[in-house]
Structure 1
Amino acid sequence: MELFLDLYGFLSVVLKAGALASRSALVGGVLTLLLVTAPLARLLPAHQAELAGRMTLRVVRVAGWATLGFTGLSLALGLLALSGAMDLPLFSAMGAQFVLSGFAVMLFAVLLMLLVPRGDFGGGRGWALIAISLLLLAAAVGGSHATARPEGRGYLLLSTYLHQLGAALWLGGLPVLLLALRADWPAAVAQAIGRRYSRQAAAGVGLILLGLLGYWRGYIVAPDALYGTAYGAMAATKGFLTLFLLALGLANWILLHRLSRAGAPEAWLPRLRRFVECEVIAGIAVFGIAASLTSVPPSVDLPDDRATWAEVAERFTPTWPRLQSPDRQDLAIPELQSRLDAEWQERQEAARPQAFIPGEGFLPPRNAFDMAWSEYNHHMAGFVVLLVGIAALLDRSGRFPWARHWPLLYLLLALFLLIRSDPESWPMGDIPLLESLRDPEVLQHKLLSLLVVAFAVSEWTVRLRGRSGAASYVFPLAMVVGGFLLLTHSHAIGNIKEALLVELSHLPLGALAVIAGCARWVELRGGAVAARADGSVEPAREALWAGWIWPACMIGISMLLIFYRES
């Protein structure tokens, strides 16, 4: 149970992110069925109408099962944590608000999966689907921050509801749109579906913005909360990625409503598919931040001890990187353990103060050497990432054949992270590997090291073979997963200023990693689609500029790491 409680924070955020994304896809799929594909299906030939029905039904079924899985696991996790932390029987914990909310969501999800029509999209069944979808979102809102607010609960519940409904209309409808763009039917049909969906997505964006107004009034209130609290900083990062999503959506709107009128489908349809794929990827990252926001108290509840703008500016003012590491024995935990060992020898008592054990629920002791150790790790990692970015740009230019081996540099980074990321744990410290994994931070570090190795080896193989394939997508997906882990990082419940200042540097790292992964995805998907007169192929235009964007993001990440500070 102790190990479970140690990992609860990280696992709960991941499961909540999955529940948010799948729930939005379920409700969005049903609403897209009723608002987009069903009206058009009446105007299509029988075989195309049948294809539209099967396509939407597939999205609803997958999203429904995912909703049941993620919500059920999240409920089980929460029940075990509540029972273990408060020493309550499981039956007594079943009356908690989040449990009732989760069971209601699962019930409505089952009803949606049972009632999704296979033929006739109209009639009373359509209205029943709308009602159940709206009730499902209402049930989900019942487990949000808003239900626990002593003041302003009404408009916060409404804001949360509008926000989630907008996300379902916009992001939740993307899977149906993507399948429509890839379906085997005339481009005119895909264009018609895309145009109808764009109006639905615009309504969703409007609802999201309305919800944000309520969030600002109820949870954030003041501008200094955006950089002075963890909740505000995560909300600002979520807003930044939402702007990135809006830029992709604007590109899709231009393709659907302008370029498609003058250009052949072969020119705009593949480009539209690639941008929608990126929207889906970035949308999952946004759901990750949204889930992480539920793990910290709103800014309005933490009016004291906020980080000031002067402190943030001072922390982000570049200084010369640290090129020398302190000795491990000078760190706070080894020093504390040595002192406790000495006290044990002197007193020979049966009970003595214990050194910090990862996962106990409070922050470990730190001294100036710990800060120097952490800064050195970030700076050295930054230099490796900088070399990667420069080598990738040289490789992109096509003038330096040796630069294609740049993925091997990441193996050095993985080895460096494995050894030095957690000095108290294996292989450098005294805590065994399995025991150290009970600390969520250690677990995340080890996962990141494995991700680095995976995409380094796969990307190097791709560069050597000179052709794309399934292995080529490991790199962008690993970048997105790494960014997701940074964005869903475990956060302290209290408003601890030093932990917040560290968090302010991790959030932009995660956002840049997601954007870099999306850019690499576009480069791969458009790598060879435009045919020349001689029969050869060349990359699409967006693939060309995307090939420059993701190395630039890597250089940006390296700058954040090189100038990272904790003191």
Structure 2
Amino acid sequence: MEQLLDLYGFASVVLHAAELVARTVLLGSVVFWVLLAVPLARLMPPGDADRLHAIARRTVLASGIASLAATFLLGLLSFVALEATLDIGARALLGADFILLTGLDLLAMLVLLALALPRGRPAPNRRWGLLGLAALVLLAVTFGSHAIARTEGRAMLLASTALHQAGAAFWLGGLPCLLAALRLTPPSARIIGQRYSLLAAIGVGLILLGSAGFWFGFIGSAGAVYGTAYGSMAASKLIMLVLLLVLGAMNYRLLHRIAPTPGGTLRLRRFIEAEMSIGIAVLAVAASLTSVPPAADLPDDRVTWQEITERFTPEWPRLTSPDHADLAIPALQAQLDAEWQQRQAAQRPQAFTPGEGLLPPRNATDIAWSEYNHHWAGIMVLLVGLAALLDATGRVPLARHWPLVFLGLAAFLLIRSDPEAWPLGDIGLLDSLRDPEVVQHKIASLLVVGFAVSEWSVRLGLLRGRVRFVFPLAMLAGGVLLLAHTHAISNIKEAQLIELSHLPLALLAVVAGCARWTELRGPPELARIGRWLWPACLIGIGLLLLLYREA
């Protein structure tokens, strides 16, 4: 049970992100089906109209099943964690508000799926039922959010939450349907895209209105933006929102030209795919926000601008490693083991902070060890980015072997990322997986190995087809994983300074993944841009890692 509690924070963030993505697509596909597909079907050829209804119906069913599973698992995980930290039985917890709201949410989704199951165009009563049930899902999620726990400004924050999530559904949730609908005949695809622009504009407006409420209720000042984890993650969402607006503007320009250009539909599909990728990253940040306190609740423990400038002033990278025996863990492991056993024997856990995990002691040598790891990782990523740029020129054949550098990085991370655990430390592999940071580090190492091997095989012509997309998908997954990265929060300022160093790395990884995806998918004019953009992002990641400091 203790292992479950240690991993609860990370697992809950991942499940919450999956639930947010699935629910956003569910609500957005219902809106697409009822408000767009049904009215436009009268203006389209019968074949296109039937296909459009089939696209919307399949997306509602697929996203509904995914949302149902993610919501159930998230509710079950929260229930088990709550039971483990309280001295009351499971039966007494069944009356908790979050259990009732989760049940209402699941029931509404089940009925919605039943309404979506019949084939054919939905009749008016069925359409109203789909919209009503989607609104009920939104209502259940809104009243199960953190806004309900506020004692001041609760009504405003509940309204902001509903507006925010409804806006995401109108804009981002319908993108999978739109992407599939663009495969219809050009006239039908064009009119669908033009009508969807209106839904997206409504979604943007709702998101901005909801964001205004969050600003006044959860943030409140510019100092809270850079001084707290909540504020900095919200700022990251804003940056990605700007990227989404740029892509949306490009889509609008392509859709509303007087005369369609050759290849315009293909470029439109690539922009929508990038929108979907960045949208997933935005929802991952939103899920991660649930694991940190709002900025308004931390008026005294904020990082100052002076502390930020002091921490991020460039210094020469640390290229020599301290001795493993000088780390705090080997010196204090016996003491920690004894204290842990005493606590376990004395009482059950009385409180739990998501993402806290096991907090090891740290000294100056530990900080030097971590900085050494980041700086050498930065050197390797920088070499990859420079080699990829050389490979893009086509003039240096040896440069195509750049993925092999990533294998060295994976081995480096596996050995040195967690010195207190296997293979360097005394904590065994299975025991070390109680710490969510260790889990994330091991997952990152496996991701690096996977995309390095696959990309090298692609470069040598040994593998073709969909395996080409392993590398961009791995970069996207790494960026999303970093956005959901959690740290022990007993030192709030230190955690925030680390968060400020991680967020730009994650944003660059997401952009790099989108650029590499576009390079592989085309069209040629976008592929040329992507070919140079993603190596530049890797170079940026390498430089940021070289500047990384923890003191």
Q: TM-score range by the shorter chain?
A: over 0.9
* Separation (CA, whole Å) in 2 of partners of 1:91 and 1:467: 54
CA distance 1:550–1:352, shift in 2 (3 Å): closer
- Work out which of the residue numbers 369, 392, 397 in structure 1 matches 2:393: 397
Gaps of 5+ in 1: 345-349, 530-539
In structure 2, do the counterparts of structure 1 residues 522 and 305 end up closer, same or farther at CA, with 3 Å as the change threshold?
same
1:559 aligns with 2:543: yes
- Counterpart of 1:374 in structure 2 is 370
Higher mean alpha-carbon deviation, 435-444 vs 97-106, is at 97-106
The structure 2 residue matched to 1:386, chosen from 382, 387, 392, is: 382
* C-alpha displacement of 1:508: 1.1
Residues 281 and 26 (structure 1), Cα distance of their counterparts in 2 relative to 1, 3 Å cut:
same
Alignment of 1:24-423 (within 5 A): 24-116=24-116, 118-182=119-183, 185-258=184-257, 261-264=258-261, 266-337=262-333, 361=357, 363-423=359-419
Equivalent residues of 2:479, 2:505 under 8 A apart: yes
Answer whether contact 1:229 1:495 (CA < 8 A) is retained. no
Q: Secondary structure at the match of 2:510?
A: helix
How much does 1:352 deviate?
A: 11
What do residues 342-379 of structure 1 show as CA deviations (whole Å, max 9, x unaligned)? x99xxxxx97999xxxx984532111111111000000
Q: Partners in 2 of 1:360 and 1:30 — Cα distance?
A: 38
Q: Per-residue deviation at 1:470?
A: 1.2
Contact 1:296 1:491 in 2 (8 A): no
- The 1-side partners of 2:101 and 2:356 are apart by 29
Worse-matched range after superposition: 104-113 or 332-341? 332-341
Paired with 1:316 and 1:301, the residues of 2 have a C-alpha distance of 26
Q: Distance in 1 between matches of 2:467 and 2:20?
A: 29
Matches of 1:79 and 1:418, distance apart in 2: 33
Could you say if the C-alpha distance between residues 391 and 460 of structure 1 is closer, same or farther in structure 2, counting changes exceeding 3 Å?
A: same
- Answer yes or no: is the 8 Å Cα contact 1:296–1:492 preserved in 2: no
The AA in structure 2 aligned to 1:194 is G
2:335 and 2:216 map into 1 onto residues whose CA distance is 49
Distance 1:438 1:337 in 2: 16
Deviation at 1:333, TM superposition (A): 1.5
Matched residue of 2:460: which SS? Answer: helix
| Residue in 1 that maps onto 2:472 | 476
Give the distance between the partners of 2:30 and 2:242, measured in 1 at CA.
Answer: 26
Distance of 1:201 and 1:340 partners within structure 2: 54
- Counterparts of 1:198 and 1:30 in 2: how far apart (Å)? 16
AA aligned opposite 1:23: R
> Alpha carbons of 1:21 and 1:352: their partners in 2 closer, same or farther (altered >3 Å)?
closer
Is 1:428 aligned to 2:428, yes or no? no
1:545 maps onto 2:544 in alignment: no
Distance, in Å, in 2 between the alignment partners of 1:490 and 1:105 is 27
1:380-429, Cα deviation, whole Å (9 max, x unpaired): 00000000000000000111111000000000000000000000111111
CA change 1:561–1:20 in 2 (3 A) is same
Distance in 1, Cα, partners of 2:479 & 2:96: 33
**Deviation of 1:127 (Å):** 2.1
Percent of matched pairs sharing the same residue: 58
Which range moved further: 233-242 or 63-72? 233-242
Q: Distance in 1 between matches of 2:86 and 2:335?
A: 34
**Which one of 490, 499, 505 corresponds to residue 503 of structure 1?**
499
The residue identity in structure 1 corresponding to 2:176 is P
Deviation (angstroms), 1:336: 1.7
**Deviation of 1:507 (Å):** 1.2
State the shift of 1:2 in Å: 0.9
Q: What is the letter of the counterpart of residue 145 of structure 1?
A: H
CA 1:114–1:325 in structure 2 vs 1: closer, same or farther (change >3 Å)?
same
Output the CA distance in 1 between the equivalents of 2:544 and 2:436: 23
The equivalent residue for 1:533 is: none
With normalisation by structure 1, the TM-score equals: 0.92
Q: Return the letter of the residue paired with 2:69.
A: G
Distance in 1, Cα, partners of 2:198 & 2:344: 63
Paired residues of 1:411 and 1:456 also in contact (CA < 8 A): yes
How far apart in 2 are the matches of 1:546 and 1:351?
Answer: 56
Distance (whole Å) between structure 2 residues aligned to residue 465 and residue 360 of structure 1:
45
Q: 1:200 to 1:494 in 2, by over 3 A?
A: farther
Contact 1:297 1:493 in 2 (8 A): no
What is the distance in 1 between the residues matched to 2:356 and 2:208? Answer: 39
Cα deviation code 1:55-112 (max 9, x no counterpart): 1100000000001000000000000000011133222112222222221111111121
The whole-number CA distance in structure 1 between the counterparts of 2:358 and 2:385 is: 37
Q: CA deviation at 1:494?
A: 5.4
1:12 aligns with 2:9: no
What's the Cα RMSD here? 2.0
Give CA-to-partner distance per residue, 1:226-263, whole Å, 9 cap, x none: 111111111111111121122111111111112xx334
Q: Which residue of 2 aligns with 1:442?
A: 438
- State the shift of 1:468 in Å: 4.8
Amino acid at match of 1:165: A
Change in Cα spacing, 1:402 to 1:376, as seen in structure 2 (3 Å) is same
Q: Is the 8 A contact 1:230 1:296 kept in 2?
A: yes
In 2, Cα distance between equivalents of 1:21 and 1:269: 25
Q: Are the structure 2 counterparts of residues 278 and 340 from structure 1 closer, same or farther at C-alpha, using a change threshold of 3 Å? A: closer
Supply the distance in 1 between the matched residues of 2:474 and 2:342 (Cα, whole angstroms): 47
Distance 1:338 1:78, change over 3 A: closer
Matched letter for residue 457 of structure 1? V
State the one-letter code of the partner of 1:172. Answer: G
Letter in 2 for 1:403: A
| Distance in 2 separating the partners of 1:127 and 1:361 | 46
Say which SS state the counterpart of residue 429 (structure 1) adopts.
coil
Write the distance in 1 (CA, Å) between the matches of 2:479 and 2:130: 36
SS in 2 for 1:171: helix
Deviates more, 1:108-117 or 1:220-229: 108-117
CA distance 1:238–1:351, change in 2 (3 Å): closer
Q: SS state of the match for residue 222, structure 2?
A: coil
Letter in 2 for 1:134: A
* Residue 174 (structure 1) shift: 0.4
- Counterpart contact for 1:82–1:88, Cα < 8 Å: no
Distance 1:171 1:129, change over 3 A: same
CA contact (8 A) 1:306 1:495 kept: no
Aligned-pair distance for 1:340? Answer: 7.6
